Amino acid sequence: MLCLLQRGPAGRREVLLGHKLRGFGHGKFVLPGGKVEPGEGAAQAAARELAEETGLTADPSSLHEIAVIRFTFPASPASDMHCTVFRAGTVTGTPRRTAELSPAWHPVDRLPLAQMWEDSPRWLVPLLHGSELDAEVVLAEDNLSVASYRATPRH
C-alpha cells in the first residue's frame, strides 16, 4: 500500500515524495508505503509504513482509500504487487530522512518525473487532482517501462 499526502492551497499544492535510498526502486521518487504485515489491515500498514519511512504519524481511521493498482512484472512474477493507495487527512510530525526514504515536499505541477517509475504519472497525476481509480500496470520485459496501462474511475 501507498500513502498520498498533500498540503498547500489550490494552485500551490505539494505532494510528499520520498527518494528511495535502498531496495526495490532504489534511486526513484516514490510515495511512502510498503507491505502489509500479518495481523494488520491495509490502513494500519499504510500508517505504520508512513511513520517508519518518514517519521510522520497518521491515524489509520483518517486514511481514505482512493485507488487500487495492480502491478504485473511478466519478467519477474515474484515482484507482482497489488497496492492500495490511501489519501492521508491529518498527519503530525515533520518529515525526516530514514534508512528507506529521504522525504521532501514537491510542487504538484513540477514532479520529478524523470526520477520516478515510468507508470507513476499515469495514476498519480489524476489522484493528485482528486480522482479515485483502479488501475492495472503491466511492465515490459525490462521491468522498468510500461507495456500496458488501464485505469477505470471509481464511482
Residue 114 confidence (pLDDT) = 93
Q: What whole-number distance in Å separates Cα of residue 4 and Cα of residue 40? A: 19
The three three-digit cell numbers of residue 54, written as one number? 518518514
Low pLDDT (below 50) residues in the chain: none
**Domains of the chain (ranges plus CATH)?**
2-153 (3.90.79.10)
Cα 33 to Cα 2, 12, 140, 147: the distances in Å are 4, 24, 23, 24
Residue 140 confidence (pLDDT) = 95
Residue 30 backbone phi and psi in degrees, to 5: -140, 165
Cβ(28)–Cβ(79) under 8 Å? no
Residue 4 confidence (pLDDT) = 97
Cα 126 to Cα 29, 85, 94, 129: the distances in Å are 17, 12, 26, 5
Residue 89 confidence (pLDDT) = 83
Residue 10 backbone phi and psi in degrees, to 5: -55, 140
Q: What whole-number distance in Å separates Cα of residue 53 and Cα of residue 34? A: 9
Residue 14 confidence (pLDDT) = 95
Cβ(141)–Cβ(79) under 8 Å? no
Residues 68-89 have pLDDT tens digits of 999 999 999 998 999 999 999 8
| pTM as predicted | 0.93
